[in-house]
Amino acid sequence: MNARLDSFSYDDAIVRKFLWATMIWGIVGFLIGLIIAIQLPWPGFNLAPYLTFGRLRPLHTNAVIFAFAGNAFFTGAYYSTQRLLKTRMWSDALSKFHFWGWQAIIVAAAVTLPLGFTQSKEYAELEWPIDIAIAVVWVAFAVNYFVTLTKRRERHIYVAIWFYIASIITVALLHIFNNLSVPAGAFKSYSIYAGVQDAFMQWWYGHNAVAFFLTTPFLGLMYYFMPKAADRPVFSYRLSILHFWSLVFLYIWAGPHHLHYTALPDWASTLGMLFSVMLWMPSWGGMVNGLLTLRGAWHKVTEDPILKFFVVAVTAYGMSTFEGPMLSIKSVNALAHYTDWVIAHVHTGALGWNGFLTFGMVYWLAPRLFQTEIYSKKLVNLHFWLATFGILLYVVAIYSAGATQGLMWRAFDETGRLQYPDFVETVMRLIPMYWVRVVGGTLYITGASLAIYNLYKTWATRPATYEVPVVQAAPLDPVYVDDHAPEAGGFWARFTHMGWHRRWEGMPLFFSVMTAVAVIIASLFEIIPTFLIKSNVPTIASVKPYTPLELAGRNIYQREGCFNCHSQMIRPLTYETERYGDYSKPGESVYEHPFLWGSRRIGPDLAREGGKYPDLWHVRHMKNPREVTQKSIMPAYPHLETNLIDFPSIQRSVDAMAMIGVPYGDAVNNAPAMAKAQAEQLAASIEAAGGPKGLADKEIVALTAYLQRLGRDLKNASGGTP
Partner 1 sequence: MRLSDIMSAANLSAYAEVAMVLFLAAFVVILLAIFAPGRKRTYDAASRMPLDDEHPQTPR
Count residues binding partner 1 (CB under 8 A): 61
Binding-site string for partner 1 from residue 556 to residue 595, where x marks contact by CB under 8 A and - marks none: ----------------------------------------
Applying CB under 8 A, does 428 fall inside the site for partner 1? no
Helix (H) / strand (E) element for 138: namely helix 128-150
Cβ contact 231:306 at 8 Å: no
CB of 703 to partner 1, least distance (A): 35
User: Which residue stretches of 533-644 are H helix?
Assistant: 548-559, 574-580, 615-623, 625-628
Binding-site string for partner 1 from residue 627 to residue 666, where x marks contact by CB under 8 A and - marks none: ----------------------------------------
* Of residues 269, 221, 170, the one with CA closest to residue 518: 170
Closer Cβ to partner 1, 432 or 486, answer by number: 486
| Member of 485, 498, 509, 717 binding partner 1 (CB under 8 A) | 498
Tally: H helices and E strands in the chain: 29, 4
Closer Cβ to partner 1, 422 or 477, answer by number: 477
**C-alpha angle 629-31-102 in degrees, rounded to nearest 5:** 120
* Cβ-Cβ contacts under 8 Å for 501 (sequence gap 6 or more): none
Q: Specify the stretch interacting with partner 1 by CB under 8 A; choose among 166-174, 180-188, 241-249, 583-591.
A: 241-249
Interacting residues with partner 1 between 507 and 526 (CB under 8 A): 518, 521-522, 525-526
What type of residue is 645?
A: I
Applying CB under 8 A, does 3 fall inside the site for partner 1? no
Applying CB under 8 A, does 249 fall inside the site for partner 1? yes
DSSP 8-state assignment for residue 64 = I
Which of helix, strand or coil describes residue 675? helix
Closer Cβ to partner 1, 532 or 541, answer by number: 532
Applying CB under 8 A, does 246 fall inside the site for partner 1? yes
Interacting residues with partner 1 between 130 and 159 (CB under 8 A): 153-156, 158-159
* Of residues 44, 370, 57, 360, the one with CA closest to residue 222: 360
In three-state form (DSSP H/G/I as H, E/B as E, the rest C), the secondary structure along 394-406 is HHHHHHHHHHHHH
Closer Cβ to partner 1, 38 or 362, answer by number: 362
Closer Cβ to partner 1, 234 or 427, answer by number: 234
Handedness of CA 116, 117, 120, 123 (dihedral sign): negative
Q: Specify the stretch interacting with partner 1 by CB under 8 A; choose among 167-175, 247-255, 403-411, 615-623.
A: 247-255
Applying CB under 8 A, does 295 fall inside the site for partner 1? no
Rounded CA-CA distance 250/315 in Å is 21
Q: Specify the stretch interacting with partner 1 by CB under 8 A; choose among 195-203, 268-276, 354-362, 632-640.
A: 268-276
Rounded CA-CA distance 234/246 in Å is 18
Rounded CA-CA distance 209/222 in Å is 18
CB of 471 to partner 1, least distance (A): 5
Applying CB under 8 A, does 474 fall inside the site for partner 1? yes
| Member of 266, 422, 477, 627 binding partner 1 (CB under 8 A) | 477
* Cβ-Cβ contacts under 8 Å for 492 (sequence gap 6 or more): none
| Member of 108, 192, 476, 677 binding partner 1 (CB under 8 A) | 476
The size of the chain, in residues, is: 722
What type of residue is 338?
A: Y
What type of residue is 456?
A: Y
Interacting residues with partner 1 between 54 and 93 (CB under 8 A): 80, 83-84, 86
Closer Cβ to partner 1, 494 or 652, answer by number: 494
Count CB atoms within 10 A of the CB of residue 453: 14
Task: Kindly give the pairing relationship between strand 189-191 and strand 471-473.
Answer: unpaired
Rounded CA-CA distance 361/76 in Å is 8
Applying CB under 8 A, does 452 fall inside the site for partner 1? no
Interacting residues with partner 1 between 532 and 551 (CB under 8 A): 532-535
Distance between start and end Cα atoms, the chain: 83
Point out which residues bind partner 1 (CB under 8 A).
1-2, 10, 80, 83-84, 86, 153-156, 158-160, 223-224, 227-228, 231-234, 237-238, 241-242, 245-246, 249-250, 253, 267-268, 271, 274-275, 471-474, 476-477, 480, 495-498, 501-502, 518, 521-522, 525-526, 528-529, 531-535
